[in-house]
Amino acid sequence: MAKTHILSFCNHKGGVGKTTSAVNIAAGLAHRGRRVLLVDIDPQANTTQAFGLNPYTVERSILDVLQDRATIEETRQTIPVPDGGGCLHVVPSTLALVEAETSLVAAVGREYILSEHLSDIAGQYDYILIDCPPSLGLLTTNALTASTALLFPVQPHYFAVQGLQQLLGFVATIKRRSNKGLTVGGVFLTDYNPRTKMHTDAAAAVQQAFPNEMFKTYIRHNVALSECAARGQSIFDYDPKSNGAQDYGALVGEIVKRFKNK
């Protein structure tokens, strides 16, 4: 049986394109025929809304999973994929997920709860993607403990490298305490404008700091990426000829190639 890759999209800074990337990479993998589960563990529930699901009305969410009131199979929602594609399921979030940070504190083995639930269904998927909140609390700890690798979206700003170095310190703690097999699966730039010197300089700095982890594809600034989320569609369904679709399509190709033999 092929290995299931469990990849968390992580960055403790908000507004770096984390959710946009999780949504469109999940859709891109499904369009390539892969079996994909996307878990929204961010209380903002933006990934949930990006697929047209209402976090106020979903019957069950990731909160029910973390509090052992439901399984992943009972919670996941099916997202339509064009004919010939794979399958795409989403475990929705809810704004009430903020309760989990408090309720998990007293739970036995609290950092392993998501990992245990995912292990029950991992063989059903080629990729399980997790959209983490922009913080380093118990929700992110659960995601990283469950993951085989991390994907870091980074905006090309002056302090991008410093922010990643801080995040890697947290990752090192997770590796030491709860997930020795965790690796950095890749770093990629989002909202990139090649005509801006600040962006080209920042891209060079990230490349120098992470020469082995950096993906070749840069996600260029593209208005269609914001528009498709508002429509509850992926960029591939909303505007398949856009720069956003081209860039995320290329990045998905790199991800498939990088994890093919891992």
pTM for this entry: 0.96
The secondary structure of 51-82 as a DSSP string is: TT--TTT-SS-HHHHHTTSS-HHHH-EEE---
What the block records as the tokens of 135 is 């913080």
pLDDT of residue 143: 97
Separation of alpha carbons 75 and 55, rounded Å = 13
Binned at pLDDT 50, 70 and 90, residue 181 comes out as very high
- Interatomic CA distance for residues 10 and 18, integer angstroms: 7
**pLDDT, mean over the chain:** 93
**Which neighbouring-strand residues pair with 91?**
39
Q: Is the pLDDT of residue 1 over 60?
A: no
Least confident of 17-31, 134-148, 153-167: 153-167
Q: Where are the beta strands (DSSP E) in 17-176?
A: 35-40, 77-79, 87-91, 127-131, 149-154
CATH of 5-259, one of 3.40.50.300, 3.30.1780.10, 3.30.70.1400, 3.40.190.10: 3.40.50.300
Is residue 105 classed exposed, middle or buried when 0-12, 13-18 and 19+ CB atoms within 10 A define those classes?
Answer: exposed
- 84 pLDDT tier (thresholds 50, 70, 90): low
* Domain edges within the chain: 5-259
pLDDT tens digit string along 187-206? 999 999 999 999 999 999 99
For the stretch 11-68, pLDDT in tens is 988 888 999 999 999 999 999 999 999 999 999 999 999 999 999 999 999 999 999 9
Predicted confidence (pLDDT) at residue 104 exceeds the cutoff of 90: no
Task: Tell me the residue type at 34.
Answer: R
pLDDT in the model for residue 242: 97
What count of Cα atoms within 13 Å lies in the side-chain half-sphere of residue 143? 29
